[in-house]
Structure 1
Amino acid sequence: MQVLDIQQYNKAVTKSNALIEANYKLSTLEQKIILYLISQIHKDDDDFKMYRLPIQEFSEMLGYRGSPKYTELREITKNLMRKVLEIREGQKLKQLSWVSYVEYDERSGFVSLSFDPRLKPYLLQLKREFTTYRLKNVMELKSSYSIRMYELLKRWQYMKEVEIALDDLRMMVGAADKYHQYHNFKKRVLTPAQQEILEKTDIWFKYQEVRKKRKVMALRFYIQEKSTIDQVVVPIEEKTENNAADQYLKFLAVLQAYDRYITEKQFTKIALLAQKVFGENWLDEMIKTTREILQRGDIREPIAFLTYLLNEKLERVRIGSDHNEVVVNKKVRVVRGEAVPDWLEDYQKKLAESSQTRDTDEEDIEQIRRELEERLKKYKD
């Protein structure tokens, strides 16, 4: 039974990687409540708000029929307020609660919850070391272990494979005190999670046991995105908001691997250029080109360089030439008989320095970006 309205169902859940790898144990329902609330956080929020959950939907999530049973619901939120998570940062071990306040309003039909303020660094204004995925991918999972496994695999999806020590894995999926025998852990956690994630989410995985003297010490996971061979790609202007957002999240995951970030607005501008250059397979080609740029250690502003590169390619397309004549190269910035102009390098350096200066506000940085875009446009014209 689909409980959530489709608009909320397609919202994104964004968590810091430290929170994904934290030590905590929540029931399946408790995890879904937390993730539902996280999906209501806006990427520009600088403080927590009271996040609302419809009481009727809350009741249906429990399998109750008819009028909401407030006694049972209140008991669930009381238990949730007592749940503790542990986050290790270097030599520090932090113990926090998920929720600090709950308020029921029977007249409006909502229960409002507030996150513990100390969770702000792990849920708000995230620019580095975070993972994003669609809420719908976890709301249909039946096992709490499947939810934790899915989040952990999404955190490493950009690497396509990761090796995790067995004891660490038990802790990260909330089974630190259970299934001490590997065969039980495999039967109760790994196998059901593998099947559920395959059937109900956007990824699938297989794994290899890493043994030492016959004993399984770690697991190496191989993570793949579901096949999209039959998917018809249409221009971004004609896509629905949710599909466009999925494209943004896929591209953002690539940047995250290199501690980079891009806004949805910036992505849309670059995506339109990529469509004109690459056509139907624009997203895959844009990701491939971006990876090549990110692997270059001498490019300070990869997004600015990508914009420049796509404009150069588009110019070749417009005059009937092959855009592949313009490529990323180790020796020169762009292979086209010329290098990137000196002013572009100066602006990249200026922008990078401004981004790292505490007394430079976002308006100053945005002004530099606008100036850079104008210079790119003039250079192209």
Structure 2
Amino acid sequence: MEASAVRPTQYNNAVTKSNALIEANYKLSTLEQKIVLYLISQIHKDDDDFKMYRLPIQEFSELLGYRGSPKYTEMREITKNLMRKVLEIREGQKLKQMSWVSYVEYDGNSGYVSLSFDPRLKPYLLQLKREFTTYRLKNVMELKSSYSIRMYELLKRWQYVGEFEIQLDELRMMVGAGDKYKEYHNFKKRVLNPAQQEISEKTDIVFSYEEIRKKRKVVSIRFCIKEKSIEPVVEGIEEKKDGRVDDHYLKFLAVVQAYDGYITEKQFSKIAILAQKVFSGNWLDELIQTTRSIFQRKDIREPIAFLTYFLNEKVQRIQAGINPSEVTIHKDTKVVRREIVPDWLQDYEAKLAAESAKSKESDEDIEQMRLELVEKLKKYRD
């Protein structure tokens, strides 16, 4: 397998892991976690197979805290230990055990150490479309505690839901504490509070937590996650070349992911351009709020298509000098306001309603009509 090219200090890449892998049980040191996450960040979203992912030997040495010539003996011990580390993934009644890395190769001539993931990790790292979590590598590279890194990943998993509750024993296993800190006050002192402080100081989120007690004993923890306030970016999406578009996409994708949806980067770029024309400076926050409202509607089968249609209608009104606020989303209706609904969509809705009322009409006919409507809506996606 050909090694993929990697630039040293490429910490702005995204780390994408399936939620099953985020919630797996394993214990890695801080350095081991950073090596694994660095390698994961080199995986391209279109990769259908693992490659040999490379880490600059000099950077590896600096991660160890060394300056000057790399210490090969220490590095080899670290990668050997990493190959022995096992993670456990639960899927229903199945418990899967596997290693992170299956092969390591040092090349002093090129200045890289190349590592290969265990092939059994493919379903959890490649071609992910649903139930995954994405964040920037730079948010974990400054963290000093292995517990903080694992806590950060779990929090990012639930960030756009806003909160989650987890059993205390399960949390211990997920962050790698295992049988350590059996007394809750020790776990709080050694794991929870330090992670809370470090994550707040060095990453893009903050969190608070509530202790859930049963007969005065803490049995679970409820976390509340918030994103740090960031100054809004006003520049046009279509004009940005510095990678900031990716940050917007990842943030929006996480919102869609919270509702078990998915959107490609190309689709998002088109929606983002429309959103900027509609919402101006605070466009991303307004877009996220609108998207959540649409996904929460149980009667909208194609949320992304509906969102695109909704924004297009607003843009057309703005360009025509008509008040765009009349284009709204109502929970008690299936589409935006009647006066701006295309005739073909009104006709199809009326036809669907009429056909649904006929007891003699089959479910198959109604479903066929719905599929025809979806096909017509597709033009707003592309």
1:109 to partner: Cα distance: 0.5
Alpha-carbon contact 1:332-1:339 (below 8 Å) kept? no
SS of equivalent residue, structure 1 residue 114: strand
CA distance in 1, matches of 2:381, 2:18: 34
One-letter identity of the residue aligned with 1:349:
L
One-letter identity of the residue aligned with 2:58:
Q
1:349 aligns with 2:371: yes
**Which residue number corresponds to residue 357 of structure 1?**
none
CA distance in 1, matches of 2:373, 2:84: 45
CA distance in 2, matches of 1:133, 1:167: 26
**Which residue number corresponds to residue 256 of structure 1?**
257
User: Matched residue pairs, number?
Assistant: 355
SS of equivalent residue, structure 2 residue 51: coil
One-letter identity of the residue aligned with 1:163:
E
1:220 aligns with 2:222: yes
CA distance in 2, matches of 1:167, 1:198: 24
**Which residue number corresponds to residue 144 of structure 1?**
146
1:232 to partner: Cα distance: 4.4
1:36 to partner: Cα distance: 0.1
Instruction: Pick closer, same or farther for the CA change 1:108–1:326 going to 2, 3 Å.
Output: same
Q: Structure 2 regions of 5+ residues with no counterpart?
A: 1-6, 350-367
1:91-130, aligned counterparts within 5 Å?
91-130=93-132
Report the more deviating stretch, 277-286 or 236-245: 236-245
**Which residue number corresponds to residue 200 of structure 1?**
202
Alpha-carbon contact 1:37-1:53 (below 8 Å) kept? yes
CA distance in 2, matches of 1:46, 1:191: 40
CA distance in 2, matches of 1:5, 1:205: 31
Instruction: Pick closer, same or farther for the CA change 1:277–1:338 going to 2, 3 Å.
Output: closer
Alpha-carbon contact 1:28-1:143 (below 8 Å) kept? yes
Instruction: Pick closer, same or farther for the CA change 1:48–1:321 going to 2, 3 Å.
Output: same
CA distance in 2, matches of 1:348, 1:34: 46
CA shift digits 1:304-357 (9 cap, x unpaired): 1111111101111112122110112232311142546349887973697xxxxx
Alpha-carbon contact 2:327-2:340 (below 8 Å) kept? no
1:17-32, aligned counterparts within 5 Å?
17-32=19-34
CA shift digits 1:63-111 (9 cap, x unpaired): 1121111111111100000000000000000001000011111100000
CA distance in 2, matches of 1:351, 1:225: 38
1:45 aligns with 2:47: yes
Cα RMSD (Å): 2.1
Q: Structure 1 regions of 5+ residues with no counterpart?
A: 353-367
CA distance in 2, matches of 1:185, 1:120: 33
Instruction: Pick closer, same or farther for the CA change 1:268–1:293 going to 2, 3 Å.
Output: same
1:143-162, aligned counterparts within 5 Å?
143-162=145-164
Alpha-carbon contact 2:276-2:283 (below 8 Å) kept? yes
Instruction: Pick closer, same or farther for the CA change 1:344–1:170 going to 2, 3 Å.
Output: farther
**Which residue number corresponds to residue 266 of structure 2?**
265
Instruction: Pick closer, same or farther for the CA change 1:256–1:145 going to 2, 3 Å.
Output: same
1:291 aligns with 2:292: yes
**Which residue number corresponds to residue 372 of structure 1?**
378
CA shift digits 1:24-65 (9 cap, x unpaired): 000000000000000000011111000000001001100112
**Which residue number corresponds to residue 360 of structure 2?**
none
1:201 to partner: Cα distance: 0.1
Report the more deviating stretch, 338-347 or 281-290: 338-347
CA shift digits 1:133-171 (9 cap, x unpaired): 000000000000000000000000011111111011101
CA distance in 2, matches of 1:62, 1:376: 48
One-letter identity of the residue aligned with 2:193:
T
Alpha-carbon contact 1:202-1:225 (below 8 Å) kept? yes
Match for 2:87 among 77, 85, 94? 85
Alpha-carbon contact 2:163-2:222 (below 8 Å) kept? yes
Instruction: Pick closer, same or farther for the CA change 1:269–1:231 going to 2, 3 Å.
Output: closer
Report the more deviating stretch, 176-185 or 339-348: 339-348
CA shift digits 1:233-269 (9 cap, x unpaired): 3222343432211100110011001111111111111
CA distance in 1, matches of 2:62, 2:297: 51
CA distance in 1, matches of 2:348, 2:281: 30
Higher CA-based Rg: 2
SS of equivalent residue, structure 2 residue 83: helix
Report the more deviating stretch, 81-90 or 336-345: 336-345
CA distance in 1, matches of 2:369, 2:302: 9
One-letter identity of the residue aligned with 1:287:
I
Instruction: Pick closer, same or farther for the CA change 1:323–1:109 going to 2, 3 Å.
Output: same
Match for 1:337 among 336, 339, 342? 339
Alpha-carbon contact 2:8-2:55 (below 8 Å) kept? no
